[in-house]
Chains A and B, each alone.
Chain A
Amino acid sequence: MIRWLAPGALAGLLLVAGPVVVHLLARRHARRTMFPATQFVRATQAAAVRLRRPTDLGLLALRLAIVTAAVLAAAQPLLVTRWRLAQWNARVSRAVIVDTSSSMPSPEMASRLAAQETAGAFRSRRIDTPDLRDGLARAKTWIASAPPSRREVVIISDFQRGAIDRDSLAPLAADVGIRLVRAGAGPAERSASLTAVDFWRGARWQPSAVVDDAGTRARWERDGSGEGLSWLEVLAAPADAAAAERAKRAAASFGVPAGDDSRRVLVVFAGGEYGALIARTVEAAWMVEAARSLHESDLLRDAGIRVTVEARDGRLGVRAPIAASSSNATAVLRAVMLAVRPAAIASPELETLTIPDAELAAWRRDPAPLTQRDLGRLDESDGRWLWALALVLLGVETWARRRRTTTPAVEAEADAA
């Protein structure tokens, strides 16, 4: 069976018409030479000679063969023999996904296992990622471009529950093998401090979480009175100044995630002005993220308010088209607080449960042998032999062309007697 790596090049077979046309129609330049016996030479009409037949069928055949060989070589044919198929099946291309998430109990062990997996492969790619799903997507892309060989994806992880599931593996082709190698066991219990919350019940509260096989336990501890709200400035019409202050306190009473005071915000209600602050392009990452969050805010959507965002001398400016005395002013300010200081949620890395070995074993499958139909990306061809043939034929054609004008068809013997 022949596979063509560049089948589009076969369109070049139309080029074989070139030599035929040249032989049939092209008027070669007639060279002039002295010849004393012209009285015996019959003059021929050049056009009639051209159209009658090709002048040299052997040479034409050679030229056709050269063009054909070159075109076929450009199409990069690959003869898929049983022997070649067996050679390909004897090798494995392997994508090794190494879980680098913080939950991994022993990164060194994972590295060592990855080295072992890549060492025996024909081609291999190590993919370090904290997100196994992302690693699977990258592995799928790479392995699709692997040369003909059996293909396999190896995942080295602690396999926290939720890190991966059967659906995550579904996009991999059916012939791609899957192996899941567990790299050590995590601790029986994990704990973490979460983002503190200011102003809830008039104080600062520090939440913490403890996760073990039994479940998750959260603990809130009072920790002082919390930071001020100096990072949030409200600008409103002078008549609404008191209302603006009330709205600010009301919004803060829900609790404000503690954060960096460098993120300063100006909220401008109707009647308020930025003053001399210079407008600038929103470039800081936190401002972009806050703008996105405001755009998607459920609070604003429910209130039917659209705010505009801009940068003003290093501050995030948020202009709301309502007065500070409006009942929705608190919703605007609350949305701004959550957008600028997003609350951290508990990391899935705290999970202590892992996917059972039996489940991992059920997901495992061996790489399927290659078939004539599905060879993957072919990276070699037999075109070089056709190129060599074309070169040899070119040499023969040159030799024949030089010899043609000097070879008599019949050698008449001199009659010396």
Chain B
Amino acid sequence: MKVRMAHDLVRGAPKFLLALAFALAAHQGLAQGVTDDMLLNAHKESDNWRMVGRDYMSTRFSPLNQVSTKNVRRLVPKWTFSFGVLDAQNTTPLIHNGVMYVTASHGRTFAVNAKTGSMIWQYNHPLPEDAGKNMCCDIGNRGAALYGDKVFVSTPDAHVVALDMNTGKPVWDVALGNYKNAYSMTVAPLIAKGKVIVGLSGAEYPTRLFIEALDANTGQQAWRRYTIPAPGEPGAETWGSDADNLKFGGASAWITGSYDPALNTVYWGTGNPNPDWDGVGREGDNLYSNSTLALDPDTGAIKFHFQYTPHDVWDFDGVNEHVLADLGGKKVWLHGDRNGFLYSIDRTNGKFVYGKEISKVNWATGFTPEGRPIVNPEKVPSYTYEAKDICPASEGGKWWNPMSYSPAKQMVFVPSREICTDIKSAKGERTEGKPHWGIGSIKWNKGHGQLVAFDAKSGNKKWTVDAPSPFMSGVLTTGGGLVFAGTPEGEFKAYDQDTGRELWSYQTGSGIVGSPITFAIDGKQYVAVPSGFGGWTGWATIGGGGAPHLKDSRKGGYVTVFGLFDE
């Protein structure tokens, strides 16, 4: 800073004044903002974690290597921080210049000194009393976004709020939908080209959902992309004879997209059509449900799309994240879907490269050359037919919890499960603001969890770790050769990337359903993980249950930060 100031003094007053302002800000302990350069080059530096996927490729890989396969057994807790709320803690904490910005359930956001765990500020979004009533899967949140001098969060009542990074005070607050009709938000925003991009939740209810971009400075709408076409638009003909499907077909967008600046494209996933398990009356592919939309970040226009599960009657809600990887000269996105397959798709044109089983798959028997699944009719439920032992169940495969990709090893590490279901559909009542699942009966059959490592280029499995319960945490990989993942029992574990051998474990006290990160301050590496069991857990217990031992699991609501034991 001193060198730059001296340099600026010579070159002119305006730059000098800017530098002086920065120096004053630093002196007063004010955070310096997050720039486009910081976000565009997030993968090239190691100390910070400035967006939920860590970089625009959503790798969740950090080059930090101070904590490694050789010394991870010396990892010990340094501090914990309570959120003061007991629900699903689905967040990924962010780190910017020594400060942790972390969201919690019930509309809470905190800034915490990342070295000491001391709170700097907190923001409690003023939630209406019935905010959680029309959220299918708990009142959680998946993380914040940082840009300029602001922290951006989405809220259960479908607001996007910009907070002053230094004080936590709201700068602007806009509502994107009516929460009473189940338009809600849990998504961590994506920042791209000065815009705050978010997607809506609510496809277990009659809704028409969308992805929206807001101006980061003002909150003004830049564009809105409905995930279901309007009447007359291309794709509208894929929703069957009931015209109301175009108003109420769901197709949520609750997982943060990825961004390729060179291709000027944002990749964003969309979820299940509504009703989830009843396809009668929505004959056709139901575009753009269960798809990846390749969007122009300037306009929201769809450049192309790839649909994973056309005409979904299993709730294979295809919103999951996109890892952008360059493999063998090909630019692809990797996507682990709830339908049980790991996909590699050409991100320049949406062409299918491969689809490989993460878990047992029997609802489809293979793919057409274009990547369209060939459906097994025995696994299609109806009003009169209970389809038995459909694999995987609605949660996958791979559920929403984000996987991690190590560019160094070209390996992808997928949190997964082996659980199947019996489903019979039924005609439901479509009323706005009421759940609409189209379910007659459903039971989850007992299974187990697994963490699966793939060679990203070929899609071949390298190793699998079996566990009593599904892995419900996000995954972190590091330059130290480690894979970190958490269990619903609350254990935070480190594995060897090459072999899957467990090297370290720590019981955090409550189930881990958020995502771990790593960062460095003053040359010391830290690892952080949120704990707090919750969310949609019907799969664990309903009708016998996929993991009945998780019934009445202990709730929590905090983050634990680890560092190497200081001798």
- Tell whether A pairs with B: no
Binding site for A on B (CB under 8 A): none
B-binding residues in A (CB < 8 A): none
